[in-house]
Amino acid sequence: MDIYDFTCLVSDDSAIVSIYDYTTEEEVFCGELREASLEFGEYEIIGFDILRGGDDRRGVTLILNIETEEKEEED
């Protein structure tokens, strides 16, 4: 499922989410889910992490994990 499709299933698209990229091994987005959908909507969700209230000072409640590029196979 991609981020756009996921956003369509969420009742509150103003929820604060983070997007972590496995390819670069860093956070690439933090903000409202609706904004994430506009910028990263076509990326497939590889997995997600749910944070407990108060675990993140920025208000993040969900981390969506993606890969922006295929990792090259080693010969």
Any domain includes 73: no
Provide the whole-model pTM: 0.86
Mean pLDDT of 31-40: 96
Q: Answer whether residue 72 is part of any domain.
A: no
Q: Which residues form the domain of 33?
A: 3-66
Q: Answer whether residue 71 is part of any domain.
A: no
Going from the C-alpha of 42 to that of each of 2, 46, 57, 58, 65, the distances in angstroms are 6, 12, 28, 25, 13
**pLDDT class for 45, splitting at 50, 70, 90?**
very high
In which order are the strands placed within the sheet that holds 16-21?
26-32, 16-21, 62-66, 47-50
In a domain, 14, yes or no: yes
Residue 10 lies in a domain: yes
Kindly state whether residue 41 falls inside one of the protein's structural domains: yes
Q: Kindly state whether residue 53 falls inside one of the protein's structural domains.
A: yes
The total domain count for the chain is 1
pLDDT above 70 covers what percent of the chain? 92
